[in-house]
Amino acid sequence: MSFSDKLKRFFGIASALDDDFFDELADTLVEGDFGAELAFGTVEELRRRCRKENVKDGAAARQILYEMLGETLQKARRGAEVGCLSDGKAGSPLSVILLLGVNGVGKTTTAAKLAFLLQKSGKTMLAAADTFRAAAIDQLKIHGERLGIRVVAHKQGGDPSAVVYDALAAAVSGQYSSLIADTAGRMHTKTALVEELRKIDRAIQSGGGRQKDGTPPANPPLVNRWLVLDATTGSNAVHQAETFHEALNLDGVILTKTDSGAKGGVVFALAANLRLPVLYVCNGEKYENISLFNADDYVREFLG
């Protein structure tokens, strides 16, 4: 039985909204990757609202929880639906997407999926800024060949910020509308990784697609720092997000592997604890297995 089936059944068989009901709901939400604090806080608030509105049955309680979870996700919204993506029209600024995340979460695959998606609305380029392993560069190049998308890469062991700097200059002068940079998920130490990612970030800020003669671009690029999270890692994903958010001030999250039995509560924990919106969801290994996150649909599916 999937997690949302379990929730559906739970609300369906509730005979009375007593202490047992609320205790069991809290345990279920903890199990669903909400994290203890958010699970208990949510259930307390639900209990309060049910009492206030004189709600007596599971179906009505479920409806209130549905509204509350929608409000939780609303807290993480930052105006634009998908961060700072350029509309791809002539004269609009370049969107730079830095894909961050620990090893194995799906950064490189997601870079390819995003390129596949964004090339529909403008010229897209990939930057192989994971120079830690030769295989990482090759992996991105293979995707680039399959998709017919240019990949800017240097040699293994090179400076990833130099890769991004060069890619930016090429993207600005070639009037690309988006540049997607894959980054390393592992380094000798965590501190080294964070320093490397900050350096890439600074290269974008200071270089900003400057030309060889030093001329700055007419339109500075829009920078998106997106964290890739494996949905199956559960509440540990929130811990990863905290670390990266502290280091780089993230703009949003891409959740991968939602096809692999994830319970899904982590989306609410990210919104409630870090005000971080999920922007895209990936549910498979194919290029088309990526979609824009839809808060309303998500809550509906989560509650079963």
Ligand X SMILES: Nc1nc2c(ncn2[C@@H]2O[C@H](COP(=O)(O)OP(=O)(O)OP(=O)(O)O)[C@@H](O)[C@H]2O)c(=O)[nH]1
b/e sequence 148-159, b meaning 16+ C-beta within 10 Å: ebbbbbbeeeee
Q: Which stretch binds ligand X (CB under 6 A): 4-12, 34-42, 56-64, 105-113?
A: 105-113
Closest distance of CB 128 from ligand X, Å: 11
Closer to ligand X by Cβ: residue 136 or 223: 136
Q: Is 108 in the site for Mg ion (CB under 5 A)?
A: yes
Give the integer Cα–Cα distance in Å for 118 and 121: 6
Q: Is 160 in the site for ligand X (CB under 6 A)?
A: no
Q: Is 130 in the site for ligand X (CB under 6 A)?
A: yes
Q: Which residue carries 């009375």 as its tokens?
A: 16
**Site pattern 222..261 for ligand X (x: CB under 6 A):** ----------------------------------xx-xx-
Q: Which stretch binds Mg ion (CB under 5 A): 25-33, 128-136, 152-160, 249-257?
A: 128-136
Closest distance of CB 110 from ligand X, Å: 6
Q: Is 103 in the site for ligand X (CB under 6 A)?
A: yes
Q: Is 109 in the site for Mg ion (CB under 5 A)?
A: no
Q: Which does 105 bind (CB under 5 to 8 A by kind): ligand X, Mg ion, none?
A: ligand X
Closer to Mg ion by Cβ: residue 65 or 128: 128
Closer to ligand X by Cβ: residue 55 or 194: 194
Q: Which stretch binds Mg ion (CB under 5 A): 50-58, 132-140, 158-166, 172-180?
A: 132-140
Closer to ligand X by Cβ: residue 25 or 151: 151
- Interaction site with ligand X (CB under 6 A): 101, 103-109, 130, 136, 185, 256-257, 259-260, 282-285, 289
